Amino acid sequence: MIALHRLVRPVRPRAALAALALIAPVAHAQTAGLKDQLDNWYHSAQRAAPGEWGIAVADQNGTVLWGVNQDEPLVPASTVKLFTTGFARSVLGADARRPTRVVGTGTLNPENGEWVGTWSLELNGDPSLERAEGQGPTLYDLALQLASAGVRKLDGPLVVQSSDGPADAIYPAVWSARHRGRLFAPLIGPLMLHENVMWITVRPGERVGARPRIIEEAPSGIAQLVTVAARTRPGRRSALALRIKPGGGWVLVGSMGMRARARRFSAVLGEPRLALGVSWAAALQRAGITWSRPALPGKSAPGTPRVLAEVASPTLDSLASEINRRSLNFGAELLLQWAGGRDQGPARLTQFVRDLTGDTRVYLVDGSGLSNEDRAAPTAFISYLARFPLTAAGHNFPQLLPANGSGTLHRLNSGFPGSGVVRAKTGTLGQVATVSGYLGRPDGVLLVSLMYNGGRPWAARQKQWELFRRLGANGVVIPSDTFDQAETQLGGEETATPSWMPTDSAAAPGDTADQR
């Protein structure tokens, strides 16, 4: 049996977390009762989920009050995103944004609206570009800016570039081959569009024998890459499958009942550049711009390339909040590339965490935690949770994490006096269940890191939720003095109109306010 013991080991001799200063420190008199609760819970958790546990519960200064194997490095899974978020915030700042641009060299022919010269799309890994339901900047935003400047015609093939090297998207080498290509593990890089996944919604055809109809698509234009070979049959039953076509695209096969409900199919973009082409064409058409795509680029025009249109991502804090809430692996990897570079990001992230926590055993090979090679101990998370909010970049850091009842903490929707008693990040892999974060109580904020590596991660997760409910049953909402919840909602921002655009240009044909 692993020994249960109380440790008094301060991580940092500071009075309190700056972001949590409205709650008093944990009272020493409460420690005995807390230890009894944790002892009883752990004995039960061991029986329900045999395996390797690492646990640390500390006060808001980082002093460990109770622990089991708290110094043992384990596989952390997606709790790594806690580190990635703080690293990106420290390097880039909370208000940093990622641009997407149309860059060109040439002139505009005012007689027919033709752009005479070369142009290209510059993509820089904005994780919110072309998100469904209007939650980020779109290619249509770029096309509208061109149309507003009088552009009516573009010539030339699609050229894609990036300010950070090759405009591509790849699978991180450290990801297991079994994850690659699944919806939670798409291709990652500057070339990102609609999270590098697609979906279509289909309904039965208008009569028996007709092909089912695609009624929704994302990203825009992606339906052009889908061949519908299925047929509508009598009844309600359907047997449909979306298969990859050689050379790119998909084919919908099988049958769909005439009275069947609409069905949605999703897939990872195996050829993001192909998807970008059809989406850009759809955006230009919608904005009233004709695009001629010859096999070879046109003649180069003299002059220095300049920005013809530009949109920007939401702020880093907004992106980070969404990435943590939904545990988006691709988003965390993009933050890491943005802050640390495409090659040195994991090494720089590891050093950042080691410097902040003093734990040299922390070892990280990615920014999302999807790799089984990552290692961190519960006390590393405790030190990080205690220290990072005290740094200049850590202000209101807990508020970037999901609250109980939302996101990956949606199952913690009962047993608490309100949302925000818990702010934490979960991690889940085949044999991993972890959660680390903050828990507000009347007698002080607790820092909690629960790590399980073993064969029963689902059972371990249920016991982890049970402990949070026990400790937070009479909890209080973790306060925030300046964090504005409105800032965490995704929404792209267009930059000011480029100086080259005429101020008296006509709007795009058919452009109305309700098309946004």
Tell me the pLDDT band of 199, cut-offs 50, 70 and 90.
Answer: very high
Residue 2: its pLDDT value, please? 37
Cβ–Cβ under 8 Å, residues 198 and 219: yes
Q: Are residues 186 and 210 in the same domain?
A: no
Residues 475 and 355 in one domain: yes
Q: How far apart are CA 143 and CA 280, in angstroms?
A: 8
Which amino acid is residue 115, in one-letter code?
W
Domain CATH for 370: 3.40.710.10
Residue 493 domain-assigned (yes or no): no
Same domain, 437 and 374: yes
Q: Does residue 503 fall inside a structural domain?
A: no
Q: Is residue 354 part of a domain?
A: yes
- Nearest-5° angle of CA 345, CA 349, CA 351? 120
**Residues in contact with 499: Cβ distance below 8 Å, sequence separation at least 6, in sequence order:** none
Same domain as 402, residue 329: yes
CA distances from 105 to 102, 120, 145, 177, 260 (A): 10, 9, 16, 42, 52
Q: At what angle do helices 139-148 and 272-286 cross, to 10 degrees?
A: 40
Statement: residue 30 has pLDDT above 90: no
Integer CA distances (angstroms), 36 to 4, 451, 488, in order: 10, 20, 38
Show the 3-state SS of 454-496: CCCHHHHHHHHHHHHHHHHCCCCCCCCCCCCHHHHCCCCEECC
Q: Are residues 129 and 199 both part of a single domain?
A: no
Residue 4 in any domain: the answer is no
Mean pLDDT of 471-497: 54
Q: Could you tell me if 152 and 29 lie in one domain?
A: no
| Tens digits of residue pLDDT in 92-107 | 999 999 999 999 999 9
pLDDT-derived band at 516 (thresholds 50, 70, 90) equals: very low
Give the rounded percent of residues in the chain with a pLDDT score beyond 90.
Answer: 80
- Same domain flag for 300 and 227: no
Q: Which residue range forms the structural domain that includes residue 199? A: 194-268
Rounded to 5°, angle at Cα 250 from 244 and 252: 105
Do 237 and 260 contact (CB within 8 A), yes or no? yes
Q: Would you state the pLDDT for residue 458?
A: 97
Q: Could you give the angle at the alpha carbon of 226 between the alpha carbons of 222 and 230, nearest 5°?
A: 145
In a domain, 361, yes or no: yes
Say yes or no: 363 and 467 in one domain: yes
Contact 436, 85 (CB under 8 A): no
Whether 502 is covered by a domain: the verdict is no
Retrieve residue 359's tokens.
């734990």
Beta-strand relationship, 422-429 and 306-312: unpaired
Question: What is d(CA 108, CA 505) in angstroms, rounded to the nearest whole number?
Answer: 12
Contact 192, 173 (CB under 8 A): no
Buried b (16+ CB within 10 A) or exposed e, 265-300: bebbbbebbbbbbbbbbbbbebbbbebeeeeeebee
The total of other beta-carbon atoms located within 10 Å of residue 460's CB is 28
pLDDT band, residue 31 (cuts 50/70/90): low
State how far the Cα of 494 lies from the Cα of 501, in Å rounded to an integer: 15
CATH of the domain at 120: 3.50.80.20
pLDDT in tens, 239-297: 999 999 988 899 999 999 999 999 999 999 999 999 999 999 999 999 999 999 876 65
**pLDDT at site 34:** 84
Instruction: Say if residues 339 and 85 touch (Cβ distance below 8 Å).
Output: no
Q: Is residue 499 a part of any domain in this protein?
A: no
Residues 339 and 388 grouped into a single domain = yes
Conformation bin of residue 303: beta by default, left when phi > 0, alpha when psi is -120 to 50: left
- pLDDT range class, residue 19, cuts 50, 70, 90: very low
Quote the CA–CA distance of 147 and 256 in Å, as a whole number: 41
**Residue-level length of the chain:** 516
What is the total count of domains within the chain? 3
Judge whether 457 and 48 are in contact, CB under 8 Å: no
Residue 481: pLDDT band (50, 70, 90) is: low
Rounded mean pLDDT of 396-408?
Answer: 95
Boundary of a domain, candidates 281, 314, 347: 314
Nearest to 79 by CA among 504, 488, 401: 401
What pLDDT score does 300 carry?
61
Q: Are residues 284 and 350 in the same domain?
A: no
* Rounded mean pLDDT, 57-62: 94
Q: Scanning the structure block, which residue is given the tokens 């249920």?
A: 462
Whether residue 187 is found in the same domain as residue 202: no
Given 252, 268, 284, the domain boundary residue is 268
Residue 74 shares a structural domain with residue 181:
no
Residue 284 CA, chain-centre distance (Å), reads 28
The amino acid occupying position 423 is R
Statement: residue 494 has pLDDT above 50: no
**What pLDDT does residue 5 have?**
37
Residue that is last in its domain, among 260, 281, 314: 314
User: CA dist 328 to 81, 174, 236, 426, Å?
Assistant: 9, 17, 35, 12
3-class secondary structure per residue, 339-375: HHCCCCHHHHHHHHHHHHHCCCCCECCCCCCCCCCCE
Using alpha carbons, select from 37, 156, 58 the residue that is nearest to residue 439. Answer: 58
Average pLDDT over the chain, rounded to whole?
87
Query: Does 24 fall in a domain?
Result: yes
The strand pair at 444-453 and 432-441 is best described as antiparallel
Sign of the Cα torsion 87, 88, 91, 93 reads negative
pLDDT confidence band for 444 (50 / 70 / 90): confident
